Amino acid sequence: MIPFILILASSLFVKGIINKTRARLAGRTGYRFFQPLLTVGVLLGKGEVYSTSSTVLTRVAPAVYLATAFGAALLLPLGTFPAAVAFDGDFILFAYLLALGKLALVLTALESGSSFQGMGSAREVLFSMLVEPCFFLLVGTLAMVTGYGSFSAIFAEFDNMSVNWLMLSLILGYGFLNLALVENGRVPVDDTRTHLELTMVHEAMVLDLSGVDLAFVQVAGWLKLSVWGMLAVNALIPARMTGWLSVLWFLLAMAVYGAVVGLIESLMARNRMTRNATYLVTVSAIGLLGFAVAYVLMTSGL
């Protein structure tokens, strides 16, 4: 349960680090570090408003979205600390649990009957389809290198202490970072700060949600941000770093992860929609590069 507890803990501060990094680089103080948590507290005290075209799906989808984020967090280990739930092929369940949550949110957006939410849903589904190969290439590479098919066994056995395998580790970590940006609707594919409906992706999908429903979606977003960060950290964590030392490494690495995301959002502009497809295919190419490097290292005996 230690990795699950760490994901929950990191989800409370990663968003604050991103916001503070972005504010400092812009020369501003920014709002309070735990302001997102206070905002969710306010939302939990409010009621929900539903469209006349909505059905029971709109009422249960935010809870499904949050539950799938919790379920995905239960499947992730931290180095030698095993996941709360582990079995061969658990990474497939991980991928499609998150896909189920996204599907529930997409269907909710379509139920509203808003053209803006329809556009956001179409873009979200397209982005997910284009980056899915990258995820399976990255995890498949780790499975090929270690000979295991479970997250817990893979990350407990992945040894990146030699120079050659460290190179692979950096490629995989970079790939998971890009997946984190895409799957969480961050710059350069999306921008959570935008207020123009025509350019929204994730934010367009939740325009009609309010109260507890919106709070559930925001908390699920924090969890997903930490879940993808955990994958990147696991790919980079030194194999010989075990026990509580790996916990300290995780907390430090997640703080750096939040700062890097904030740095990217401060220094990069969001892509034009017409260029996003090219960017996403390039992200999948990173996964293919990692697979090729691993294959060369294994066949050459390095």
Q: pLDDT value at position 54?
A: 85
Mean pLDDT, rounded, of the chain? 92
242 pLDDT more than 80? no
Q: pLDDT value at position 163?
A: 77
Three-state DSSP class for residue 81: strand
3-state secondary structure 8-41: HHHHHHHHHHHHHHHHHHCCCCCCCCCHHHHHHH
pLDDT in tens, 21-62: 999 999 998 889 999 999 999 999 999 998 888 889 999 999
95: alpha, beta or left? (left if phi > 0; alpha if psi -120 to 50): alpha
| CA atoms lying within 13 Å on the CB side of residue 140 | 15
Reported as a pLDDT band with limits 50, 70 and 90, residue 102 is: very high
Amino acid at 296: V
Domain ranges of the chain: 2-299
Say what the pTM is.
0.95
- Give the integer Cα–Cα distance in Å for 33 and 65: 25
CB atoms within 10 A of CB 114: 19
Q: pLDDT value at position 4?
A: 96
Token pair, residue 197, equals: 């409906």
pLDDT in tens, 253-283: 999 999 999 999 999 989 988 889 899 999 9
- Give the integer Cα–Cα distance in Å for 16 and 262: 10
- Give the integer Cα–Cα distance in Å for 50 and 69: 24
Q: pLDDT value at position 195?
A: 78
Q: pLDDT value at position 42?
A: 96
Q: Please list the residues that pair with 81 across neighbouring strands.
A: 78
Task: Give me the residue label for tokens 């909710």.
Answer: 108
Q: pLDDT value at position 240?
A: 66
| Residue 302 vs residue 211, higher pLDDT | 211
- Report the pLDDT averaged over residues 91-118: 93
